[in-house]
Chains A and B, each alone.
Chain A
């Protein structure tokens, strides 16, 4: 069964910590995405990547960075976690020119205290 795996389901971090959220896909997909989801705001795109070592800013990139050193792995980095980054983080992947849509992971619920 194809999947997108996010390393943690729940995470609690302290303000100011550097936080790494990991996402791995086993479908050989070219495209990978990071979204955050907050009540009343829907899913908002943080960063996405079309290929290894390539990245593009989404709608809300401030306070985040990403890394894609290997095709299957896309990491989201919170340089200095703040309480307003408490959220559900969702990773997704898709195939370029593919006939199906995104495949999402189960999400990481991050709480910054």
Chain B
């Protein structure tokens, strides 16, 4: 898996959009960008993934730069329940994924 770099922590206000950055400058052509989150004491939860194009689902949007060296996960209207550790991973679903330290996101009222 390509190495990813994320900020250690970030705060955001409830109701506002949360933009979580991730750098993956060594990503290879067939590797996807995955985002997961882990709420305290639970297993990680899959959020979204993409290869080249921007993706959106009911949880979030994923914006991948044209050179694929970085991406941003957008939580459009953050709630207190979105407080979690968010992991950005570059890899393949058919192979092992390496989870780093992630970004601890705290949503404040």
Contact = CB atoms under 8 A, between A and B. Distances in A.
A1 to B, nearest CB: 13
Q: How large is the interface on B (under 10, 10 to 19, 20 to 34, 35 or more residues)?
A: 10 to 19
A94 to B, nearest CB: 5
Nearest to B94: A96
B99 A101 contact: no
Given A42-B101, A42-B102, A104 B96 contact: no
A90 B34 CA distance: 18
Nearest to A101: B46
Given A90-B43, A102-B44, A103-B46, A45 B98 contact: yes
Interface string B89-109: 000011011111110000000
What 5 pairs between A and B have smallest CB-CB spacing? A104-B43, A101-B46, A43-B99, A104-B44, A42-B101
